[in-house]
């Protein structure tokens, strides 16, 4: 059945939006664990084992710090920022690759004065993310580079 | 087992090559059905249902015209060119999306004076591509836009 498939050609448009792709800002308030993140599902095909999504974090924003069994395969598509994977912090630039293995804590931060946009390939069937408990958070913060990373917004 | 996983961070380098990723030029002669194509497998993780590859076609080159049961999900990462999917021909530019469904004949051509580089998401388990028979080739060429596309190199 082809009826659920994407059209063969979909154009890239202004401000990193694509023709025929819904743009989903994540609703946030003071309690949400992310800031200034939008999501666009670029490919979700009935006969493929994975999806390809595009996430964008505005300058100063960050994705949720989380972990899960499923892996992420990430390519930075726009701008630059920083990423933390399993306690390791790195500056990331356009076209860099980030591999997030099962159960690795991870977060992306647009902490370098630019938006940070990235492609994320993920299994179509996947488990729900876990947020860190207070104890796990303390353990992550015990690594000085991670503690500093978690405070950085790139502002001021 | 994490031993087969990619390192968490791999940097983008000069000329669209990545740290820790093999660069595979396709060996060609007068009989090969492609011209000036290289392949880099960016993500091939043991626990993911798909791979993410980067193909690059030098200016004037083209990928193999083929079809198969498995689908391709493509994002143009570098430059511009043209693509044919299931008899439909379109100019494609950086960040455009191309969905190639099961059994759709497809080809990419760097026919606009620039290299054409694209990401291709594909199931890890997949069938072997088929090349067109002489009859199938005649059927494709019966569409004038396809016939013209098949001749274009962007040179002269």
B33-46 pLDDT tens trace: 888 999 999 999 99
Cβ atoms within 10 Å of A130's Cβ, excluding its own: 13
Chain A CB within 8 Å of residue B71 CB? yes
* Over residues A2-20, mean pLDDT: 89
Asked if pLDDT for residue B105 goes beyond 80, the answer is: yes
pLDDT at residue B80 in the model: 98
Q: pLDDT category, B3, cuts 50, 70, 90?
A: low
* Averaged pLDDT score across all residues of chain A: 94
Chain B residue numbers with beta carbons less than 8 Å from the beta carbon of A124 are: 49
Instruction: Single out the residue of A100, A82, A84 nearest to residue A92, CA to CA.
Output: A82
Asked if pLDDT for residue B52 goes beyond 80, the answer is: yes
Chain B residue numbers with beta carbons less than 8 Å from the beta carbon of A96 are: 9-12
pLDDT digits (tens, 9 = 90+) for B22-36: 998 877 877 888 889
pLDDT at residue A64 in the model: 95
Chain A residue numbers with beta carbons less than 8 Å from the beta carbon of B97 are: 6, 9-12, 18, 21, 42-43
Cα B153 off chain centre by:
16
Asked if pLDDT for residue B151 goes beyond 80, the answer is: yes
Q: What's the gap in Å between the CA of B142 and the closest CA on chain A?
A: 20
pLDDT at residue B69 in the model: 97
Please name the residue of chain B whose CA is at the shortest distance from the CA of residue A41. Answer: B97
The residue to which tokens 């590859």 are assigned: B53
> Which among A8, A21, A71 has CB closest to B45?
A71
pLDDT digits (tens, 9 = 90+) for B57-92: 999 999 999 999 999 999 999 999 999 999 999 999
pLDDT at residue A28 in the model: 82
Greatest Cα-to-Cα distance within chain A, rounded to the nearest angstrom: 53
d(CA A67, CA A69): 7
* Helix, strand, coil percentages, rounded to 5, for chain A: 10, 45, 45
* Over residues A119-148, mean pLDDT: 97
pLDDT at residue B9 in the model: 98
Interface test with B, best of A75, A103, A105 (most B CBs within 10 A): A75
Asked if pLDDT for residue A25 goes beyond 50, the answer is: yes
Q: pLDDT category, A1, cuts 50, 70, 90?
A: very low
Q: Measured at the alpha carbon of residue A90, what is the angle toward residues A140 and A94, in degrees to the nearest 5?
A: 140
d(CA B19, CA B1): 22
d(CA A60, CA A154): 6
Question: What pTM did the predictor assign?
Answer: 0.95
User: Are residues A105 and A119 in contact, defined by beta-carbon separation less than 8 angstroms?
Assistant: no
Percent share of chain B, pLDDT over 90: 85
Instruction: Single out the residue of A66, A36, A62, A56 nearest to residue A126, CA to CA.
Output: A66
* Residues in a beta bridge with B41: B53
For residue B43, the SS3 value is strand
Cα A7 off chain centre by:
25
* Averaged pLDDT score across all residues of chain B: 94
Please name the residue of chain B whose CA is at the shortest distance from the CA of residue A76. Answer: B12
User: Are residues B10 and A99 in contact, defined by beta-carbon separation less than 8 angstroms?
Assistant: yes
Question: Cβ contact (<8 Å) for A73 and B104?
Answer: no
Which of A66-70, A94-98, B2-6, B41-45 has the weakest average pLDDT? B2-6
User: Are residues B154 and B148 in contact, defined by beta-carbon separation less than 8 angstroms?
Assistant: no
pLDDT digits (tens, 9 = 90+) for A28-65: 887 888 889 999 999 999 999 999 999 999 999 999 99
pLDDT at residue B1 in the model: 42
- B15 contact partners, CB below 8 Å, separation of at least 6: none
Q: Provide φ and ψ at A132, rounded to 5°.
A: -70, 140
pLDDT at residue B41 in the model: 97
* Over residues A71-96, mean pLDDT: 98
């Amino acid at each position: 059945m082809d009826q659920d498939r994407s059209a063969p050609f979909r154009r890239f448009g202004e401000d990193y939006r694509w023709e025929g792709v819904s743009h989903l800002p994540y609703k946030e308030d003071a309690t949400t664990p992310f800031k200034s993140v939008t999501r666009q599902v670029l490919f979700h095909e009935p006969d493929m084992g994975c999806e390809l999504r595009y996430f964008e974090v505005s300058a100063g924003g960050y994705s949720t710090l989380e972990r899960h069994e499923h892996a992420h395969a990430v390519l930075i598509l726009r701008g630059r920022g920083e990423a933390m994977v399993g306690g390791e912090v790195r500056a990331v630039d356009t076209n860099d690759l980030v591999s997030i293995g099962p159960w690795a804590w991870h977060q992306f931060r647009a902490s370098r004065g630019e938006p940070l946009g990235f492609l994320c390939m993920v299994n179509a069937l996947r488990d729900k993310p876990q947020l860190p408990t207070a104890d796990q958070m303390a353990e992550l913060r015990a690594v000085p580079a991670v503690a500093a990373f978690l405070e950085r917004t790139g502002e001021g």
